[in-house]
Chains A and B, each alone.
Chain A
Amino acid sequence: MNPTGLALGVALVLGVFAAVLGAATRKHLRARAVGAVTALCGAAGTIAGISAMCGTRYYAAFPALLPLSGVTITVDSTSGLFLAVTGAVAFVSAVYGVGYARADANGRLPQAVFPLFVITMMLVVSAGNVGALLVCWELMALCSLVLVLTEHHRRPEVARAGRWYAVMTHLGFVAILAGLLVFTAAADDDTFPALRVAAHHLSPTTASVVFVATLLGFGSKAGVVPLHVWLPRAHPEAPSHVSALMSAAMVNLGVYGIVRVGFDLLGGGQRWWWLLTLALGGISAVYGILHAAMSTDLKRLLGYSTTENMGLVLIGLGAAGLVADDPVVAGLALAAALLHMVNHAAFKTVLFLAAGSVQRGAGSRDLDALGGLSGPMPFTTAAFGLGALAASALPPGTAFVSEWLLLQALIHARPSAGAAAVVMMPIAVAAVALTAGLAVATFVKAFGVGFLGRPRSAGAAAARESPASMTAALGIAVAVCAVLAVLPTILLSQLGSLASGLLRTGSPAAMDGIVVRLVGVSGALSPLMLAVVSVGAALGLVAVVRLVLTRQARRAARLWDCGAGPLSARMEYTATSFAEPLQRVFDDVVQPETDVDVTHARESAYLVEAIEFRNRVLDRIERWLYTPLLRAVSVWAAAARRLATGSVHRYLGYGFYTLCGLLILLAVTR
């Protein structure tokens, strides 16, 4: 057993041990025990992933573990990347959970399932055959569903969100199941090497069916529009450390599935697949960020932002597949997509954990009721600020580098890549650009309205900082974010070789210490230099202004309130009013619902007693696509009820007739 396998084994054992601890220990010890052991499990998973990325592959087969197919464990460098990301997110979330879960999610069930969720995710990416992949995938979905439902007895929305999640995730599972079974039927057995061989003699139609089915299934897990509807419901309603795990680690597994099936097993395939992927990605990115810009619920905003970022990753994947005959650009696009996924995992962990601290400290996650948190919650505010900087793709933030790489890939996609590429690239660029602009507005809103200014509610005014374990976890996540922001080169060469391995091409990005220098095409960027120069300029400026230009002390004065009475929090801009101009601009797309009710005084219709204003931005896709679908389903269900009368004789009759029918069918066809 090599180091990769050893670390993976340790991670699995620790995960099971943590689950047992969660089920067996006393209440006051539970959070600490589960948090600590799960953190170790995550760390072991990260080590296994890094070791696999460095080239130490691991292979093991357990034929007796699962009937029919057995279990094969294969950890190659692709698995390694996802394993490392999952492990790191799990580590941080578990440390955070020590303080967080003690108050909010300390039941036996959630505490026992949390580590199981972590190890099932690790197993999904380590699975080496279809059977194991499907079983782990389903276990992971069930674990996450249990965790989403943690607070269902306190809030009815949680149960609704859980229903949406359960249905969507199982529909996705059905799609994956169908796709992979069709694929397996053409192969000798269901291990990945056999599938790779089978892909060569698969008919184009079958290959397309496999790809589209798995794209839909894995895409629904990644929260891709129009299969995203569960995401902005389930992610906010789960406890925050679970939200972080779902939003930063679980959605990545959707990307893993697409990469594994599309690039690795099917080996690239046809151009229109990737055109579809790119289109889905573009729509998801713009639609997701547009809804994030309108959201006033902090965690819902972050959930939509996940859809946006997964859309950007899919744009990268689509571009990579589309220009596959230009190996340099394809490798660049794939590396950019993977880097963006890693970056997203890092900053989304920070943002969700900070949101959890806010919810705990200020008692609300409604941006319209927050504000003024920079005083009472300095660590959380700083962490969220840095996370927001990273998410808005501005330098020196984390996502800036990966979006820069993505744009570089799109720029260098030459017209030789075909007419489809020529048409799609400008549209993809427009989508990325629009996303970047809206992301800036979104995160200025989230940070500026949610954390700065004056508190807008009593809860926000009485906010308090979270305990040390939570701030420590935030600190670790911020540190990882910062390292990824200024030194992406340490990861990029690995991602480059990973991408070239998947595409069977040369490495796209060379490591030059501090400069990201593209190979094969011109382009260089040094995030470290950028950060150093910016910070240096700011510090130099402070020195010049303070020492040379002005030496007077600051005078404290009251805020300029036009000389009238004191400003109250009700005069502040809220998240709703902040987003109102954008909402008007994108009126036709988001179709907000606005009601104004004016109540007149009884004495005179000219006197107004109260004005009630309500503004809701509903998910339009949900309304147009899912409402008719649900209605059709309930019509069918009503019809089906007539078949199920409850009579045992009737059911026996159904069995008899079906058997007869089947026999006749076999007799006729054979």
Chain B
Amino acid sequence: MSALGIVGGVVQPLAVVAGSPVLVGMMRQVRARLEGRAGPGIAQPWRDLRKLFGKEPIAPRGTGVVFRAAPYALVATTLVVSFVAPLATVDSPLDPVADLFAVVALLTAGTVALALAGLDTGTAFGGMGASREMTIVALVEPTLLVAVFALSVPVGSTNLAAIVSSTLRDPARAISPASLLAAVALVIVIVAETGRLPVDNPSTHLELTMVHEAMVLEYAGPDLALVELASAMRLGVFLALLANLFVPWGIATTAGPFAVLGGVLALAVKVVVLGLALAVGEVFLAKLRLFRVPELLAGSFLLALLAVAASFFLA
């Protein structure tokens, strides 16, 4: 447990919590501008959250402890990931937890909590959202694991800090075939996992096309605020992981104040660039039919498998 790790453990969760809603605000603003709108401004998600925390929480009759606990589980798993993963600093406060498999599994556990909450309501939409989400997760998780595997084989470790510092030492690794294939696969599954177009439309109002939204239709007030905050944080964390796995430069390697500040700034720049690219891409895409989504995900699985094969054969 190094000083840098402790600093990272404090700074990163704060940065993720504070920054993720702004990231979502920026993405919405970019989309609004490209659609010819004026847009509500990048602080709008924070305004929404502030208001939602002030509202009355509701306990729909017939729901139980799973429904109540799910938003907390969702935020907590994401917080843990932002606590241990090397986002702004290379070191982690808890190195034995900063494992790529553990991080992927933790994020999946959050999704599972929300799906169970959707089923706990016993409404048709809750079940529908949970069913669709789990179908997507069942196809996304393999791709994530295989892509993780492809990135770990050349390094010989699944430890995130090890992977990141290995790329820092050996920049050529970032453009190896295995790495590039894994990057493409990861982009696709991150789009699916965070519920963006073309897999899910985050701004839909039509229940029949919903995936993520359908599970959270029953949440109100602070619970809803947690769910929205968590989905913003997950987007931020996924993009940050994606950025640092392939382009880790700028990340703080010493505990000096300027290095840490630089690390946070570099993280912000990388995530914003990725987020804006995603937002611009979304303008050009229509939502896929639900049963076309598996084809997309199967494609990404194949890419990830090719990445593994490449990392074994070309090693």
Contact = CB atoms under 8 A, between A and B. Distances in A.
Contacts of B156: 411-412, 521-522
A556 interface: yes
Interface in B238-276: none
B58 A557 contact: yes
Contacts of A581: 131-132, 135, 290-291
A559 B123 contact: yes
B222 interface: yes
Nearest to A546: B222
B122 A392 contact: no
Interface stretch (B28-36, B140-148, B168-176): B140-148
Contacts of A516: 96
B182 interface: no
B223 to A, nearest CB: 9
A670 to B, nearest CB: 56
Contact of B116 (A375, A448, A529, A553): A448
A446 to B, nearest CB: 11
Nearest to A393: B105
A555 B141 contact: no
Contacts of A453: 119-122, 127
Nearest to B297: A585
A526 B84 CA distance: 12
Interface string A234-276: 0000000000000000000000000000000000000000000
A538 B62 contact: no
A592 interface: no
Contact of B139 (A425, A437, A580): A437
Interface stretch (B18-26, B69-77, B195-203, B278-286): B69-77
A445 B116 CA distance: 9
A259 B23 CA distance: 53
Contacts of A426: 146, 305, 308-309, 312
Nearest to B120: A452
Contacts of B162: 522
B128 A556 contact: no
A395 B308 contact: no
A571 B66 contact: no
Contacts of B308: 425-426, 429-430
A404 to B, nearest CB: 5
- Main SS of the interface on chain A? helix
Given A407-B158, A585-B139, A422 B312 contact: yes
Given A395-B109, A437-B138, A537-B80, A559 B218 contact: yes
B64 interface: yes
- Main SS of the interface on chain B? helix
A299 B282 CA distance: 44
B138 to A, nearest CB: 4
Contacts of A371: 122
Contacts of A432: 145
B226 to A, nearest CB: 7
B96 A578 contact: no
Contacts of B139: 437, 585
B96 A559 contact: no
A441 B138 CA distance: 6
Contacts of B222: 545, 549-550
A541 B75 contact: yes
Contact of B127 (A293, A374, A517, A578): A578
Interface in A513-553: 515-517, 521-526, 529-530, 533-534, 537-538, 541-542, 545, 549-550, 552-553
Contact of B135 (A372, A429, A448, A582): A582
A447 B120 CA distance: 10
A181 interface: no
B106 A433 contact: no
Given A453-B127, A524-B96, A573 B119 contact: yes
A442 to B, nearest CB: 8
Interface residues of A, number: 82
A440 B134 contact: yes
Contacts of B72: 538, 541-542, 545
Interface string B278-302: 0000000000001100100000010
Contacts of A545: 53, 72, 222, 226
Nearest to A434: B142
A561 interface: yes
Contacts of A558: 60-61
B101 A582 contact: no
B187 interface: no
Interface string A84-120: 0000000000000000000000000000000000000
B153 to A, nearest CB: 6
Contacts of B58: 554-557
Contact of B141 (A375, A440, A578): A440
Contacts of B290: 581
A567 interface: yes
Contact of A436 (B132, B135, B141, B152): B141
Nearest to B115: A444
B312 A559 contact: no
A545 to B, nearest CB: 6
A430 B146 contact: yes
B6 interface: no
B108 interface: yes
Contacts of A410: 149
A411 B65 contact: no
B21 to A, nearest CB: 14
B206 interface: no
- For A433, A549, A561, A572, the residue with the greatest tally of chain B CB atoms inside 10 Å of its CB is A433
Contacts of A552: 55-57, 221
A451 B155 CA distance: 43
Contacts of A228: none
Contacts of B225: 549
Contact of A411 (B56, B158, B218): B158
Contacts of B123: 559-561, 567, 571-572
A372 B64 CA distance: 10
A492 to B, nearest CB: 14
Interface of B: 53-66, 69, 72-73, 75-77, 79-80, 83-84, 94-97, 99, 101-102, 105-106, 108-109, 112, 115-116, 118-124, 126-128, 130-132, 134-135, 137-146, 149, 152-153, 156-159, 162, 217-218, 221-222, 225-226, 290-291, 294, 301, 305, 308-309, 312-313, 315
10 contacts: A395-B109, A422-B312, A440-B138, A524-B95, A533-B80, A541-B72, A541-B75, A549-B53, A559-B121, A560-B60
Given A524-B95, A560-B217, 6 more contacts: A407-B149, A433-B144, A437-B142, A533-B94, A569-B122, A573-B127
Interface of A: 293, 371-372, 374-375, 392-395, 400, 404, 407-408, 410-412, 414-415, 422, 425-426, 429-430, 432-434, 436-438, 440-441, 444-445, 447-449, 452-454, 515-517, 521-526, 529-530, 533-534, 537-538, 541-542, 545, 549-550, 552-561, 567, 569, 571-573, 577-582, 584-585
Sorted nearest first, the 8 A-B pairs with minimum C-beta distance are: A573-B127, A448-B119, A453-B122, A526-B96, A437-B141, A538-B76, A433-B142, A433-B145
